[in-house]
């Protein structure tokens, strides 16, 4: 192979890898900093994460269960729940508008929103 073809292949490869990195970064960053906490279709809280104070919120479910939501240093996560599978707790910090934190047994959703509703 000649040097021009090798250089061209390297350039095309770098452009391809760069494109993948850009897509991944864009998909994992939230569109905004507004977060909504919903239970059974009703909005309980809306926060501007850039201004929200560190706090812990307890949400009680009609069946007697509960979820503990923590806002800490500009992040929000489900720190505790008494649901059997603990998927909501293991989801970790809300990072992406495409991946909300959901507790199905207690019908709780934490997700990013834009100025006009659901992100």
Contacts of 43 (CB under 8 A, 6+ apart): 36, 37
Is residue 119 predicted with pLDDT exceeding 70? Answer: no
- Angle, CA 92 vertex, CA 52 and CA 112 arms, to 5°: 50
pTM strictly above 0.75: no
Is residue 19 predicted with pLDDT exceeding 60? Answer: yes
Is residue 31 predicted with pLDDT exceeding 70? Answer: no
- Euclidean distance between CA atoms 78 and 11, whole angstroms: 44
């Amino acid at each position: 192979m000649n040097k021009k073809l090798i250089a061209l292949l390297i350039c095309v490869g770098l452009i391809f890898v760069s494109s993948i990195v850009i897509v991944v970064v864009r998909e994992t960053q939230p569109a905004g900093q507004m977060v909504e906490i919903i239970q059974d279709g009703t909005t309980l809280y809306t926060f501007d994460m850039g201004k929200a104070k560190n706090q812990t919120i307890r949400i009680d479910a009609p069946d007697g269960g509960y979820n503990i939501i923590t806002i800490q240093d500009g992040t929000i996560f489900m720190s505790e729940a008494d649901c059997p599978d603990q998927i909501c707790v293991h989801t970790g910090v809300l990072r992406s508008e495409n991946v909300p934190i959901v507790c199905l047994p207690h019908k709780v959703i934490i997700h990013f929103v834009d100025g006009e509703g659901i992100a």
